[in-house]
Amino acid sequence: MKPRGVERRFALSRFILKVLWLDKDVAIAVDQVVGKGSSPLTSYFFWPRHDAWEQMKVELESKTWIVEEERINLLNQATEIINYWQEGGKTLPMQKAAEKFPHVSFTGSS
């Protein structure tokens, strides 16, 4: 039997958030970590164009094999990124966001 901390670290590393950092939107998707790479698990959800958080929540809940702790962790990370973007992060270079959220994969226009 593995210690709890080991299981938790493994579980939380099974997914990665991918973010498109745009001038008028921020988009968030989830990839599943596969070996040394990743595979898309969801499409991109755009904020503020749509309720990205709610769309992501519904999509993750439809994947019943994802445990609740993983869903909550991903949604909490998405909340932090959306809040950062709308509270002024959108005016900063994408590199600043990447530094603030080192476990998230960023790409975009700035």
- CATH number of the domain within which 44 lies: 3.30.390.140
Instruction: Provide the pLDDT for residue 5.
Output: 44
pLDDT string in tens for the chain (110-residue length) = 444 444 444 444 699 999 999 888 999 999 999 988 899 999 999 999 999 999 999 999 999 999 999 999 999 999 999 999 999 988 899 999 999 999 999 998 76
Please give the residue range of the domain that contains residue 59.
4-108
Given a contact cutoff of 8 angstroms between Cβ atoms, the answer to whether 91 and 22 are in contact is no
Instruction: Provide the pLDDT for residue 108.
Output: 85
Is beta strand 15-21 parallel, antiparallel or unpaired with respect to 105-108? Answer: parallel
Instruction: Provide the pLDDT for residue 110.
Output: 62
Hey, which residues does 21 pair with through a beta bridge?
Answer: 26, 108
**Total number of domains in the chain:** 1
